[in-house]
Chains A and B, each alone.
Chain A
Amino acid sequence: MISRRDFLQLAMSTTAIYGASSFGNWGKLSAQQLITQDKLLEFETFGNVSLIHITDIHAQMKPIYFREPEINTGVGANRGKVPHITGADFRRFYGIKDKSPSAYALTFDDFSSLASTYGRVGGLDRVSTIINSIRSDRPDALLLDGGDTWHGSYTCHQTQGQDMVNVMNALKPDAMTFHWEFTLGSDRVNEIVGKLPFAALGQNIFDSEWDEPAELFPPYKFFERGGVKIAIIGQAFPYMPIANPGWMFPEYSFGIRDENMQSMVDEVRAAGAELVVCLSHNGFDVDKQMAGRVDGIDVILSGHTHDALPEPILIDKTIIVASGSNGKFVSRVDLDVKNGQMMGFRHKLIPVFADVIAPDPYISNLIEKQRAPYASQLSEVIGKTADDQTLYRRGNFNGTWDDLICDALLNEREADIALSPGVRWGPSILPGQEITREDIWNVTSMSYPQAYRTQMTGEFLHIVLEDVADNLFNPDPYYQQGGDMVRVGGLGYRIDISKPQGQRISDMTLLKTGATIDPIKSYWVAGWASVNEGTEGPEIWDVVENYIRKQKTISLSPNNSVEVIGT
């Protein structure tokens, strides 16, 4: 990646590509502490093509709170580079004023106090208003969904994704790619995709038996917009059968397959594409590496790692746009394409401030229709947070939601040690807020929720931690899976992220006795979201609900059990 300063200089000094981000404007608005719908949507229409990108919604149809990460460590060439800067460093890098709306939207500090000022974010009815506004500027704007859409809530689980399909279809996307959708199981995915009124793309979705492109998922689709022939190439999450249970979709194989990506780019260029856009669920660092290896992609719309960046980054001649998660942001990218070449772009990351952007009543009504059959289940209050307790998840290591889930596992499953997956989805809860059943499902909903209880030796626990750590901290992005470190309860350890696999994890300690973990001794371990077929146990949301009900008010002690070095 090149620094922002270099990027701006480059933008001014080259005729082939020049760019303008509306972020400077947004920053100024923030400084004035003034946000209105008009200001948020203000955009001087540019060039001849508009792209609208939304990704990683995780079935969040309603406005939520979402705290951005405090720890997001980059390794190898990405150490200290965007998106691996957080908090004050992030604000300094982009010129964001402390406590401004941008600071609230993009960084973690003062989260609960800024949340009480600026309110909730997201909501697909607000997203619809933004899309409608862009379409009134540019009626043929392309709406592109980066995936992780049909997963992550109570209603999404109960309807097997149908609630999200119904609402998203009403927003009229032009194309989509995939990740968690496949955890609905291949039969259900095939059923939905077979009837989808827009393109379901993935150049890296293959038939696992024959290692040939899967028929249901074309690699790309052509669109004619503003007199420009555009190819949208899909890139699904490369490591689905590894990060998620492969036995749920055994007919499919994935992988990065950048040679095939190059072939597809060459194929669409040969067929006359003047603009090549990759709708990607690779994750940001993988997209950066792919942009450096594959020639001829103009724009990568990046998803999976949930990064929200106020400006695109430029790799060679490819711009990479990252649009956040959970319905919190929509990106608008206007492009000027002439003679088969991208001549310039204008970009804006639009934060969906739910109290500022008016909901589209048609979509609000549609959302309520999906929720109505489950209203009493959703709204039941299970407990509340203490007046100084925020619940959040995002970050490389345990968030407070994870600590609560691990406490629930340790107590309800009577275990020495708890393991909870390092996923990046799940909204936050403010201090003194009621916790409803819907809130619990927002951080636990999945199709493999069994909370197992099993014995593991100290040696095996070490292997598990080393394995997951390498999926996060391998210096080569192509060997990363894009999640965060497995969350632990009852266990302390030290991690040196600069070391190779097998040497990162040390000083493993059983917290309840203070004893060092013995490699040959067995420990009772409770966890959930196992990728293994046949995992048994109660569903995690019931485990967490039972625990919160007993606690009534949630107040967690600070978790200092993981020591991180080598950053």
Chain B
Amino acid sequence: MHISRRNLILTASSALAIGSICGSQANASLVDEHTSAFTGGAELGTGVIELDAPEIAENGNTVPISVSAPGAVSIMLLAAGNPVPAVATFNFGPLSAARSGSTRIRLAKSQDVIAVAKMEDGTFQTAQATVKVTIGGCGG
């Protein structure tokens, strides 16, 4: 998926991003905690969210991530391997034309980026993508 500059600015102005990336040890239980706080323990479906992340980050300090989920009222982004996994939560009003958001995040190491979306009908969706952060070198 390609997001043009114009779309990016539109989505940025229609979404409220809350992010913080620093702190101590991340673990699976933190990701579970965030997810259950967001979903109230509801079951997670798949197939609706389009999560666009590079397979290998060109620069781990600023990794472009785009997420889109038609019919979502809220999308939460988590970086499972970061000390503090919570990256951003995008909230959409009923008049939001596109239910999508883009941001750049810092990834401490290779890890999964996870998106969880709350849909208008109250159900939840998820998607994830593995982003490799490498020290590089040695191309063919």
Interface set of A (CB-CB < 8 Å, partner B): 179-180, 208, 210-213, 237-244, 246, 253-257, 259-260, 263, 283, 304-306, 421-425, 463-464, 467-468, 470-471, 474, 476, 478-479, 481-484, 486, 501, 529-531
Contact = CB atoms under 8 A, between A and B. Distances in A.
B52 A479 contact: no
B5 A422 contact: no
Leading 3 A-B pairs by shortest Cβ distance: A243-B139, A242-B136, A424-B140
Nearest to B132: A479
A486 B55 contact: no
Nearest to B1: A259
Contact of B3 (A211, A240, A244, A467): A211
A237 B138 CA distance: 13
A244 B139 contact: yes
A449 to B, nearest CB: 14
B136 A464 contact: no
Given A237-B139, A243-B139, A421-B137, A481 B52 contact: no
Nearest to A425: B140
Nearest to B64: A211
A243 B140 CA distance: 8
B5 A210 contact: yes
A479 B5 contact: no
Counting chain A CB atoms within 10 Å of each CB, the highest count among B1, B56, B139 belongs to: B139
B39 interface: no
Nearest to A213: B2
A473 to B, nearest CB: 13
Contact of A468 (B4, B130, B138): B138
A242 B55 contact: no
B58 interface: yes
Nearest to A254: B58
15 contacts: A213-B2, A237-B139, A239-B56, A239-B139, A243-B138, A253-B58, A255-B54, A283-B140, A424-B140, A467-B135, A471-B134, A474-B132, A482-B139, A484-B138, A531-B136
Q: How big is chain B's contact interface, by range? A: 20 to 34
B59 interface: yes
Counting chain B CB atoms within 10 Å of each CB, the highest count among A240, A257, A425, A467 belongs to: A467
B110 interface: yes
A481 B138 contact: yes
Contacts of A283: 140
A486 B139 contact: no
Nearest to B102: A211
Contacts of B55: 238, 255-256, 476, 478-479
Contacts of B8: 211
A212 B139 contact: no
Interface string B1-31: 1111100100000000000000000000000
A320 B52 CA distance: 26
A212 B4 contact: yes
A343 B37 CA distance: 56
Nearest to A208: B58
Contacts of B5: 210, 212
Nearest to B2: A260
Contacts of A243: 136-140
A467 B58 contact: no
Contacts of A529: 137-138
Given A211-B64, A242-B58, A304 B110 contact: no
Contacts of A260: 1-2
Counting chain B CB atoms within 10 Å of each CB, the highest count among A239, A260, A530 belongs to: A239
Given A470-B132, A479-B56, 12 more contacts: A210-B5, A242-B56, A242-B136, A254-B58, A255-B55, A260-B2, A423-B139, A423-B140, A468-B137, A476-B55, A484-B138, A531-B137
A358 to B, nearest CB: 31
A274 to B, nearest CB: 25
